[in-house]
Amino acid sequence: MPAPLEVIILAAGQGKRMYSDTPKVLHQLAGRPLLAHVLDTARALKPAAIHVVYGHGGERVRTVFARDADVNWVHQAEQKGTGHAVAQAMPKVAAQAVVLVLYGDVPLVRPQTLQELLTAAGNGLALLTAELDNPAGYGRILRDQGGRVTRIVESKDASPAEAAVREVNTGFLAVPAGKLRNWLAGLRNHNAQGEYYLTDIIAMAVAEGVPIATRAPQDVCEILGVNSKQELAHVERLHQKQQAERLMSQGVTLRDPARLDVRGELSCGRDVVIDVNVVFEGKVVLGDRVQVGPNNVLRDCAVGADSVIHPNCVIENAAIGADCRIGPFARIRPETKLADHVHVGNFVEVKKSEVGEGSKMNHLSYIGDATVGSGVNIGAGTITCNYDGANKHRTVIGDDVFVGSNTALVAPVTVGAGATIGAGSVITRDAPAGELTLARAEQKTRSGWKRPVKKAKSEK
């Protein structure tokens, strides 16, 4: 029976170069904390336990992840190096487990890469290493003439010859818990940083004759950590590039793959076209042949087949039917449901409303807390007056209603099926089905009235 896997994620760093009061692992990549990405990767490996070592801003970190019941939180009160951090978690690790060490600020490592590392470890130790053109700042992998790993030297402790080595330690390692526990107990802080380096266990493994395997990531981006806002921005673009490549490999047309932001989960049907500067947040589903114009924000929504989202719209927590036309400059707010063939035009806002099949509101309108039937035409400048200053009220508009321009429907109010509301009306009582309802002041003309004129300066 294989040994159970337990993951230790080191997430206690302060991140001084971020110049921020926010703990480093809470800075966001693709709309989610860095640590959230690492947790997702860890869970993909189906471990028996996940231990997160936290320190700087620890309570904020735990608050953000309060719903993550599968995480064991380990507090590192003083940051004394990576070896010290791992040692804090070991009392909670099962003796027979295999330990995989990850980092809360290294979010792009792939589960497949880590699985290969675990397979390579066997009953020994496995390191994830990489060859870099510029290895500055990384610990160097030192090997003997036979190519066997002998030790790791940290960048600040490396001699000129050692610093010239291009193979670096990424920090990721897999090792049996029993061996790791013994080696951690023997760590010393006799180095330039005065810290307990996890990397020092490599020399201990060599001294005991424990086999050390190495594996390399498929892409160097997998090992990139975040220590500054510049690095955060760089990793963000790398992540978005990966998202764009995934979408295009599934048949999505991206007008410019470099100008796309997926900050959540985006699922697309066939022949979807996405223009530039579109932001997807949360869970978004686009049906077959959906077209999304430039500069749109779609958040936690579903868009039916053949619908078109024209430029500069915001759609949030809403369901858009098939063959709809939205925008430009429309806002679809939470709890809105649009049936098929609905048109929501420029500068129209719809909030917490259901709109029936084939209905249209093409210009400058606000529809809030409303039930709109099918085949309804809402004229320009129409609003549902849903808020009385204390409570929200509902407007009900039946099928085939025509609402003239510049109409105010003062809720609670019902407009019966087939009714017509004259332009410029303020409707405060229910309008009967099939009838024309008007609510206007009497129009008057004053004959001979003269428009005021400005007085001459000498008369002032």
Domain assignment present for 304 = no
Given 178, 194, 223, the domain boundary residue is 223
Residue 292 pairs with which residues in a beta bridge? 274, 309
Report the pLDDT value the prediction gives residue 365, as an integer from 0 to 100: 98
Sign of CA dihedral 120, 125, 128, 132: negative
The SS3 call for residue 91 is helix
Domain assignment present for 240 = no
Q: Looking at the structure, do residues 27 and 171 belong to the same domain, yes or no?
A: yes
Range of the domain at 420: 358-460
The domain that holds 450 is classified in CATH as 2.160.10.10
Report the pLDDT value the prediction gives residue 377, as an integer from 0 to 100: 98
**Tens-place pLDDT, residues 184-221:** 999 999 887 889 999 999 999 999 999 999 999 999 99
Domain assignment present for 253 = no
Query: Which residues form the catalytic set?
Result: 363
Nearest to 31 by CA among 272, 282, 318, 224: 282
Residues 6+ apart with CB under 8 A from 234: 224
Domain assignment present for 177 = yes
Report the pLDDT value the prediction gives residue 239, as an integer from 0 to 100: 97
Domain assignment present for 330 = no
Q: Looking at the structure, do residues 67 and 216 belong to the same domain, yes or no?
A: yes
Question: What pTM was computed for the model?
Answer: 0.90
**Tens-place pLDDT, residues 273-311:** 999 999 999 999 999 999 999 999 999 999 999 999 999
Report the pLDDT value the prediction gives residue 458, as an integer from 0 to 100: 73
The domain that holds 127 is classified in CATH as 3.90.550.10
Given 223, 244, 270, the domain boundary residue is 223
Given 223, 251, 272, the domain boundary residue is 223
Report the pLDDT value the prediction gives residue 460, as an integer from 0 to 100: 58
Domain assignment present for 399 = yes
Q: Looking at the structure, do residues 218 and 70 belong to the same domain, yes or no?
A: yes
Q: Domain total for the chain?
A: 2
Residues 6+ apart with CB under 8 A from 283: 264, 265, 267, 300
- Give the residues of the chain that fall short of pLDDT 70: 1, 459-460
Domain assignment present for 11 = yes
Domain assignment present for 325 = no
Report the pLDDT value the prediction gives residue 58, as an integer from 0 to 100: 79
